[in-house]
Amino acid sequence: MDHTSRIVQVEHIRVWTGTPFAEVVRRIEAETGVFAPVAAMRARIEAKAPPGSVIEDIAAMAGRSGLMRFAALDHGAILRLQGKPTDAIRFLIGHPLTASRMTKLQIGSGLYAPLSLLVAADERTGTVLEYDRPSTLLEQFEDPGVAQVARELDEKFAALIDCLI
């Protein structure tokens, strides 16, 4: 058995905006596309749809930001059940074709695709957005190709955040 371990330093970004939570969520939905259910894509591949058409369909799912939502996990729901009235959603955001550019080079980079964006209401009637800078998550692979894609993701995430605040 071969086992390795390493500590990775990650830059965590936290942005506060006076924009209300519901409006930030609406903007995320406007700026990002939605990845079609995995089952639908799998069925097309199993039906031997031409790879180019499947790839084109995946590319077309991206929103204006060039990104898409894979999931929206309502962290606030469980907090509200426990008596803490909080709105908080963790969005899984990315693009499968971008991820494939990394995973072709370093399969382990798939651990970070899609990326997480936490959006939470705060007591000042504003919203907090939190995420880990992609380039810092992915520098552990020490691969110039992965690093290039990670820098592109840094830029896309920063541009998305600018649209939300």
Which CATH number do you get for residue 46? 3.30.310.70
Domain that holds residue 38: 12-164
Question: How high is the pLDDT of residue 38?
Answer: 73
Quick one: 38 exposed, middle or buried, by C-beta within 10 A (0-12, 13-18, 19+)? exposed
Look at residue 7 and tell me if it is in a domain: no
Distance (Å, whole) CA 24 – CA 18: 10
Look at residue 1 and tell me if it is in a domain: no
Mean pLDDT in residue range 113-139: 95
pLDDT tens column, 18-48: 999 999 999 999 999 999 877 777 888 888 8
- Predicted TM-score (pTM) of the model is 0.92
Look at residue 146 and tell me if it is in a domain: yes
Least Cα distance to 55 among 95, 92, 91 occurs for 95
Question: How high is the pLDDT of residue 67?
Answer: 97
Q: What's the total number of domains in the chain?
A: 1
Distance (Å, whole) CA 27 – CA 32: 9
